[in-house]
Amino acid sequence: MNAVRIDRLQVVRGGNVVLQELTCDVARGSVTGLLGPSGSGKTTLMRAIVGVQRIAGGRVTVLDAPAGSKGLRGRVGYMTQAPSVYADLTVRENLRFFARVLGLPGNAVERAIEDVSLAEHSNRVVSRLSGGERARVSLAAALLGAPELLVLDEPTVGLDPLLRRDLWELFHDLARRGATLLVSSHVMDEADRCDALLLLREGRLLAHGTPSELLRRTGADRLDEAFLRLVEEESP
Amino acid sequence: MSLRATGAVAARVLTQLRRDPRTIALILGVPCVLETLLKEIFAGRSEVFQHTGAPLLGLFPFVTMFLVTSITMLRERTSGTLERLMTLPLGKLDLLAGYGAAFAVVAAVQSAVVSALTFGALGLDVQGSRPLVAALAVANAVLGTALGLFVSAFARSEFQAVQFLPATVFPQILLCGLFVPRGQMAGWLRWLSDALPLTYAYDALAHAAADDVDTRFAVDAGVVCGCIALALALGAATLRRRTD
């Protein structure tokens, strides 16, 4: 069972092909890592999945409905790369607003604040927080209402190792509770923490599989090495 | 339309504004200073103040809310929060109506403060109903908000958004009949003035202040309401769930 099915997705921006005939799936209940260098099309693919990206061709199906369709709003949580929260509101005010839009009760806000370990900052204005803390406010907003699919664009960038570990534990915990997570990163050491990986390069899918499959297939002993071999295989 | 979502947006916009006391002080203080200046520069010809004081009372909220709205909406577009909202169960009209409602509240406070000063300390005397003048001020604020929302779609930066004020609002102020009665304008100018919403807003204010509430006033008020609805609809059309 797949939470996301992508069939020959094509995205063109300003005459440049950003995603080229991309076909892949994201299994339900998995934590899938979307990896690739900066500019490989990760954000564009995520935007297509949440339904805010104009697409030139192909089909994106999310939770058995066309991506971006009305019924999906609120069932898909999206965390953009830049923290998309209101800088002049406090953490709690931000989350309360998004919760009200989603029609959620107040305890959903407290739960999201605790999930991202921001309880002690909850009454601080977002503009006074550090970059990593702001990112976590944005993540908390995506977690509101326990969406079935979470699309997280580089959620752990700039966080200290301890927090990164905590967040990855949270991601797996959410998956155990039935959610599907698609998490992008350009740091290969996070790939080990994923159930499945999508490797993207220059708008094309380089590989798709579990970390151990990719290691076996390439004969590498580390995932960044596997990535290099896959790149070389493709363009010798 | 969802009342819950509209209310959430309005409450959020008001909270953001509350966080910014300097802006609130400017919104309330600047029109008071300008009305006082207007009275003082025409100290020798008090009929000018009597004639323009009331219509200006209604035009300040228009200008203020146009500016505040276009910048707030631009920030919403550039900060990514609009993109997030577009993935949530929030109608485009809910968002715009929320903005309109929030700024109508601000405009009501603004026009109450400025009216108190102008009708009180400055001694502006109108024959017409003062509450009606104040109500028209709020309607103008909503018109300013609606136009600001629409125009913000064409601005890529704060610099551009601010320039839209002289570009779209100043010509309307020049042509609305405040400076030169429309009857004295050249034909093409009058035709141009007929096509601009502020002309009707000004005319309604002038009629209300002069206690001349006739069918012409009803037409003016109707056109203002129609323009608000049109600008909100156009604004909603510029909000795209999918972008490049």
Closest by alpha carbon to A149, among A58, A57, A236, A60? Answer: A60
Smallest Cα distance from A93 to chain B, Å: 8
Measured in angstroms, the CA of B96 and the nearest CA of chain A are apart by: 14
Closest approach of A199 to chain B, Cα-based (Å)? 23
Q: Given an 8 Å threshold on Cβ–Cβ distance, is A101 in contact with B88?
A: yes
In 3-state terms, what secondary structure has residue A195? coil
Chain A environment of B9 (Cβ under 8 Å): 101
pTM: 0.90
Quick one: pLDDT at residue B52?
85
What single string gives the DSSP state of each residue in A26-46? EETT-EEEEE--TTSSHHHHH
Q: Degrees (nearest 5) of the Cα angle B83, B88, B89? A: 140
What percentage of chain B's residues is helix, strand, coil (to nearest 5)? 80, 0, 20
Q: Residue B134 pLDDT more than 90? A: no
What pLDDT sits at residue A236? 59
The chain-wide mean pLDDT, for chain B, equals: 90
Q: Report yes or no: B12 at the A interface, CB cutoff 8 Å.
A: yes
Which residues of chain B does A50 touch, with a Cβ-Cβ cutoff of 8 Å? 87
Question: According to the model, what pLDDT value does residue A65 have?
Answer: 96
Question: Tell me, what's the pLDDT at A14?
Answer: 87
User: Scanning the structure block, which residue is given the tokens 């309607």?
Assistant: B139
Q: Which two tokens stand for residue A107?
A: 């305890």
pLDDT of residue A93: 97
Cα–Cα distance, A163 to A157 (Å, whole number):
11
Distance of alpha carbon B29 from alpha carbon A227, whole angstroms: 62
Q: Is the pLDDT of residue B183 over 70?
A: yes
Per-residue model confidence (pLDDT) at position A186: 78
Tokens 């690739």 sit at which residue? A36
Lookup: tokens for B41: 């520069």
Mean pLDDT of B36-55: 87
pLDDT of residue B225: 94
Pairing of strands A16-27, A31-35: unpaired
Task: Name the percent of chain B lying above pLDDT 90.
Answer: 46
Give B8's contacts in chain A (Cβ within 8 Å): 97, 100-101
In this structure, what token pair is assigned to residue B216?
């012409």
Contact B109, B138 (CB under 8 A): no
CB half-sphere exposure, A128, CA atoms < 13 A? 10
Cα→Cα distances B109→A16, B88, B141, Å:
51, 32, 11
Contact B73, B149 (CB under 8 A): yes
Q: What is the DSSP letter of A189?
A: G
Q: Is B199 left (phi over 0), alpha (psi -120 to 50) or beta?
A: alpha
CA distance B166 to B169: 6
| pLDDT given at position A227 | 86
Amino acid in position B208: A
Residue carrying the six token digits 């002049």: A88
CB of B224 closer than 8 Å to CB of B172: no
What is the predicted pLDDT for the residue at B56?
86
Q: DSSP strand E in chain A: where?
A: 2-13, 16-27, 31-35, 57-62, 65-66, 76-79, 149-152, 180-185, 196-201, 204-209
CB contact under 8 A, B11 and A89: no
* B5/A101 touch (CB, cutoff 8 Å), yes or no: yes
Interface list for chain A against chain B, based on CB atoms closer than 8 Å: 13-14, 50-55, 68, 70, 73-74, 76, 78, 80, 82-89, 93, 97-98, 100-103, 125, 141
* pLDDT of res. B158: 87
- pLDDT tens-place string over residues B52-95: 888 888 888 899 889 988 998 898 988 889 999 999 999 988 99
* Three-state SS at A157: coil
Tokens of B238: 């510029």
pLDDT of chain A along its 236 residues, tens only? 899 999 999 999 988 999 999 999 999 999 999 998 888 999 999 999 999 999 999 999 999 999 999 999 989 999 998 899 999 999 999 999 999 999 999 899 999 999 999 999 999 999 999 988 999 999 999 999 999 999 999 998 878 888 899 999 999 999 999 999 999 987 777 888 999 999 999 999 999 999 999 999 999 988 888 888 888 887 75
Q: Which helix (H) or strand (E) holds A56?
A: none
Q: Cα–Cα distance between A182 and A194 in angstroms, integer? A: 9
Report for A38-42, B110-114, B190-194: range of highest mean pLDDT: B190-194
